[in-house]
Structure 1
C-alpha cells in the first residue's frame, strides 16, 4: 500500500467521484472523496492532501470560495473541475490560486494526466535542499546553509511561501494574498521590494547563487539545489 498522502476528490456527483477514484487508484494515487464544500478546509488542515480535485459547484460552499480560503494557508496543488465553460470562470479560478482547470464532460484519463503533470512540476524540497534552508515561523527565524537570515516577518512569510512549492511560479497578486493577512491595500510592486530585500539577504548566505528567480511579467519562484561542492 502506498504511504503517500492521498489526492482529495471534492465532487458531489457520487458516480463521477467513484470513477475518478478508480482511475486514480489504478494509476497509483490513493484518494479520498468529499461531497460538500464546507468539509474541505477542515480536512486539508487536519490531513494535508497531495493534490485536490475541486469541483466548482458544490453544496455548502462553492469551489471558488474554498480555493480562495485554502490559498490563505496552504500551497497544495488544486485542479478546478467545472461545468461552466465561460472564460471568466476559468480565469477567476486561476487568479484565486488554482493550478489548473478541467471542464466537464472530461475523460478520466485526461484528469489522471493533468494530475501527473501538476505533481511533476510541483516537487517538494529534496533532503539536500531542506538541509540548506531552515524556517521557524513561530520564532520568526530562518537560516540558509547554517547562516542566520535577519528577515522581517513579511520577508519570512515570503520565503516560506516560495519554499513550500519550489519550482512553482507565484504571481505578485498570489504572493500579496499570502504576505498580508489583513488584506491591506498595497500595490503589486510591493512584492518586488520584498523580493529584492530577501535576495540581498540570501546573497550574504550563499554568494554567487540566486535561489529566487523571476519570470518577466509572470512572477517569482524558488529554485533550491544542494550545497555546491
Structure 2
C-alpha cells in the first residue's frame, strides 16, 4: 500500500523536526518547508495532508492556505499559537479543515492527522471497498451529486468542494427535510466527539457550502436554518 504523504510548512525547525520524527515513526512519508513560498513549491499532487503554521514571517499560513485552495482540495491542518475564536474562524474561512493550538500533545496531533487523511482518501475513492451499486447520482433542482466519483454539478457544470463540504452536502441530500443539529453534523461528518466549540466549525462550513451552491447565499433555498434546532436540506426547490 502506498504510504500517505504529509507536507509540514513551519518556520520553527525544532517543531518541524519533532513532527517529522513522529509521523515517520507512524510510516508516513514527510516533506518539509520552512516558509510559505517553499511550501507551495513543495506541494505536489500526491500530498495527502498539509500541516501549516499560521504565524510565519513573510507569507502567513492564512495566505498559503488561500493559495492552496486555488488548485487543490488537500486537507489543511493549521497549527496556531492563537486561541481566539475569531482567529480559528479566519483559518476555516480561508479553506482550512482543522486546527491545533500550540502547545499540543503528539497524541492529539496524530489523532487529527489520521482523521483528516482517512476522510480525504475516502473522498478520493481510495482505500475503500464500499461500492455504490444502486444509484450513482442524487439530484435536486440545479444540484447533482455523482456519488461514485464524489463530484458536484451545478446546472450541469462541475463545481469543486472540499471533502468536508462534499460529505456534509451528501449527508443532507440523502436525508432531505431532516433537521440536523450542529452536533449531528459534526459527529456524522467529522467522525469525532462533539464539543460546544464545534458549533462555529459547522457554521463556517455551512456558510461556505451556501456560497458554492446557492444563487443567493444570504437567502438560501437549499440549505436552510431551522432556528433553535439546526439545518436541513430542502428538496422541494426548483
TM bucket by the smaller chain? 0.5 to 0.7
Residue 152 (structure 1) aligned with residue 155 (structure 2): yes
The equivalent residue for 2:197 is none
The equivalent residue for 1:38 is 37
TM-score (norm 1): 0.62
The equivalent residue for 2:47 is 49
CA contact 2:62–2:91 (8 Å) conserved in 1: yes
Q: Check 1:152–1:89 CA distance in 2 against 1; reply closer, same or farther (3 A cut).
A: same
Q: Give the distance between the partners of 1:55 and 1:162, measured in 2 at CA.
A: 20
Q: Give the distance between the partners of 2:153 and 2:101, measured in 1 at CA.
A: 46
Q: Give the distance between the partners of 1:78 and 1:17, measured in 2 at CA.
A: 16
Q: Check 1:111–1:151 CA distance in 2 against 1; reply closer, same or farther (3 A cut).
A: closer
1:94-130 Cα deviation digits (max 9, x unpaired)? 2222111111112222211111122334423247459
Cα shift at 1:217? 4.5
CA contact 2:165–2:209 (8 Å) conserved in 1: no
Cα shift at 1:12? 0.8
Query: How do 1:87-102 and structure 2 match up within 5 A?
Result: 87-102=85-100
State which of 203, 208, 214 in structure 2 corresponds to 1:174: 208
> Where does the alignment leave 5 or more consecutive residues of structure 1 unmatched?
135-141, 196-215, 221-229
Q: Give the distance between the partners of 1:100 and 1:91, measured in 2 at CA.
A: 10
CA contact 1:121–1:167 (8 Å) conserved in 2: no
The equivalent residue for 1:18 is 17
Residue 61 (structure 1) aligned with residue 71 (structure 2): no
TM-score (norm 2): 0.60
**Which 4+ runs in 1 deviate beyond 4 A?**
142-145, 162-166, 176-180, 216-220
Aligned residues: 181
Cα shift at 1:48? 3.6
Residue 161 (structure 1) aligned with residue 161 (structure 2): yes
Q: Check 1:72–1:85 CA distance in 2 against 1; reply closer, same or farther (3 A cut).
A: same
Residue 6 (structure 1) aligned with residue 14 (structure 2): no
Q: Give the distance between the partners of 1:96 and 1:188, measured in 2 at CA.
A: 19
CA contact 2:33–2:42 (8 Å) conserved in 1: no
CA contact 1:72–1:178 (8 Å) conserved in 2: no
The equivalent residue for 1:107 is 105
> Where does the alignment leave 5 or more consecutive residues of structure 2 unmatched?
138-144, 169-188, 190-201, 224-228, 234-238
Which shifted more, 168-177 or 18-27? 168-177
1:77-105 Cα deviation digits (max 9, x unpaired)? 11100111222111211222211111111
> What RMSD over aligned residues (CA atoms) do the two structures have, in Å?
3.8
1:4-47 Cα deviation digits (max 9, x unpaired)? 34111111111110110010111122211111112333433x43
CA contact 2:154–2:213 (8 Å) conserved in 1: no
Cα shift at 1:63? 0.6
CA contact 1:71–1:178 (8 Å) conserved in 2: no
The equivalent residue for 1:81 is 79
Q: Give the distance between the partners of 2:163 and 2:97, measured in 1 at CA.
A: 17
